[in-house]
Amino acid sequence: MTTIVTPTQPIDGQKPGTSGLRKKTPVFMAPGYVENFVQSIFDGIGGAEGKTFVVGGDGRYFNDSAIGTIIRMAAANGAVRVIVGQGGLLSTPAASHLIRKNKTDGGIILSASHNPGGPTADFGIKFNIPNGGPAPEKVTEAIFAATTSIRTYRISDVAAPDLSVLGLSDVDGMTVEVIDPVSDYAELMGTLFDFDAIKALFGRGFTMCFDAMHAVTGPYAHAILEKTLGAAPGTVINGVPSPDFGGGHPDPNPVWAKELVDIMMAETAPDFGAASDGDGDRNMIMGRGQFVSPSDSLAMLTANATHAPAYAQGLSGVARSMPTSQAVDRVAVDLGIESYETPTGWKFFGNLLDAGRATLCGEESAGTGSNHVREKDGLWAVLLWLNILASRDQSLAEISAEHWAKFGRNYYARHDFEAVDTARANDLVDTLRAALPSLVGQTFGPFTVASGTNFSYTDPVDGSVSDNQGLIVAFDGGSRFAVRLSGTGTEGATIRLYLESYMAPEGDLTLPVDEALSEIVAVAYDIIDLVVKTGRTEPDVVT
């Protein structure tokens, strides 16, 4: 049993983004690629000597092999213990909970979240810090710096243990504990929600469909929804994790979760529908014949959170990412709590949660969560909705209608233009940024520009500043659009255009979303000069 010190050299492009390092699977499978990045994680955090880590992933192709490498490298770098999910599986929120519960020194999560998986698809690795949340910029910058100066990596010549077998084993003097990936998380959910009330809801004949999208949440949903809460067998569909997610795209939105949409829009639809993504941190919420946007879901959950035991005493505050609609801000004013607008990336919520300044957080990209972990949590959002439906004894449609009648409705959509030539995408953003001051006061169709902002965020806890986080064009009356380049793709650039049209309570709150947004879509495309700048006339995905 020896530690092998292997000479290496820096590999270009190993800069972690908001969600770690994501590349095509063959890139990660190249000799030394995983080893270089994992060694750089250990070096970037000051070494692994004497430390404990959580390791797990969403089960995508290459997940098990990469975990074996990470375990052997942790041992060679002096770690004393690694906690890993059986079969290498851990949802991202479950991993965050294990980091916090076991007071570990962080965790390495293998996932590309909602991106496709498979031999030619996407893969990712990220480091979560001891609070359970994604590494902040100062940590990812240290990891990146290590990738540019690495000269050797350390790995044990002892084989990694069989991850299918629960229990303890030894790898070169380091303890490896293979655990049930579901049990700790399920226990936590039982402390947050009124499981008896949800059981009674199902007992009254309430029906639902949960689409796990062949991803990691399947075992969690089977255990909690069907076995613990008494939902009918078959409530969970596509519930067995697959290395290529059943050949699908595990992104819970109306485009990729079409099977669920078709079920919920049928005459025989169940009362409630939901889906989660590849690593279990995102969610989509539906009622019979109704899609609830993630922005609206955050606002409605905030307005009704006190129906769940964990939040019965009220919320300290709520936070949303900048592109998320302003719907939750109106709820915060009504509740008399603080609301925070942060850049995109769950890591920006961490300080607010740790400081007790926010209780709920959410992103328009289908992420919602609370202070129970430091990641967004798809199944948590579903359970909170079930708790609210059980407590209020109303349908999702009735709750939505009452909410909009009180606060008005922020009609909302996101248009994604994927794999755009990077130079053309940068030119679009640079041109709009330069034009922002001159747009103020101009009228486009029915909209007059109230402000143009290059969004910058100053963290109210530690004072750190994050500049150039997206461009916002806001109009009189509360409508707006925002533009930013996404960091979650693996090729080209993805332009995200966020569109929001506010309708006051006395307005028409039942319009189809595309009709309600038609004017602001036309104006936004015109202002950003979309066709000329990108050659595109329509988005690849609308959510």
- Same topology, domains 3-180 and 185-407? Answer is yes
At residue 491, the pLDDT reads 66
Of 3.50.50.60, 3.30.310.50, 3.60.21.10, 2.60.120.200, the CATH number of 409-542 is 3.30.310.50
pLDDT at 489: 53
Contacts of 268 (CB under 8 A, 6+ apart): none
Domain boundary assignment for the chain: 3-180, 185-407, 409-542
pLDDT at 345: 86
Query: What averages of pLDDT result for each successive group of 10 residues across the chain (543 residues)?
Result: 91 90 96 98 98 98 97 98 98 98 98 94 97 93 97 96 96 97 98 98 98 98 98 98 96 94 97 97 97 97 98 98 97 98 92 96 95 97 98 97 97 94 95 97 96 96 93 96 78 91 95 96 96 93 86
Catalytic residue check, 370: no
User: For residue 10, with 0-12 CB atoms within 10 Å meaning exposed, 13-18 middle and 19 or more buried, which class applies?
Assistant: middle
E-only strand ranges, 62-166: 81-89, 107-110, 122-128, 152-156
Burial of 395 (0-12, 13-18, 19+ CB in 10 A): middle
Strand, coil or helix: 526: helix
Cα angle at 510 between 509 and 515, to 5 degrees?
Answer: 100
**Is the distance from CB of 499 to CB of 521 less than 8 angstroms?**
yes
Chain-centroid distance of CA 102 in Å reads: 23
Secondary structure element (H or E) that encloses residue 503, with its range: strand 493-503
Contact 189, 308 (CB under 8 A): no
Overall CATH class of domain 185-407: alpha beta
Determine the Cα–Cα distance for residues 346 and 134; give it in Å rounded to an integer: 7
Give the strand pairing for 272-276 and 283-287: antiparallel
| Top CATH class, 3-180 | alpha beta
User: Is 418 strand, coil or helix?
Assistant: strand
Q: Which of 96, 111, 113, 242 is catalytic?
A: 113
Sign of the Cα pseudo-torsion (182, 185, 190, 194, in order): negative
315 phi, psi to nearest 5 deg: -105, 145
The pLDDT score that the predictor gives to residue 17 is 82
Count of beta carbons in the 10 Å neighbourhood of residue 68: 18
Predicted TM-score (pTM) of this structure: 0.95
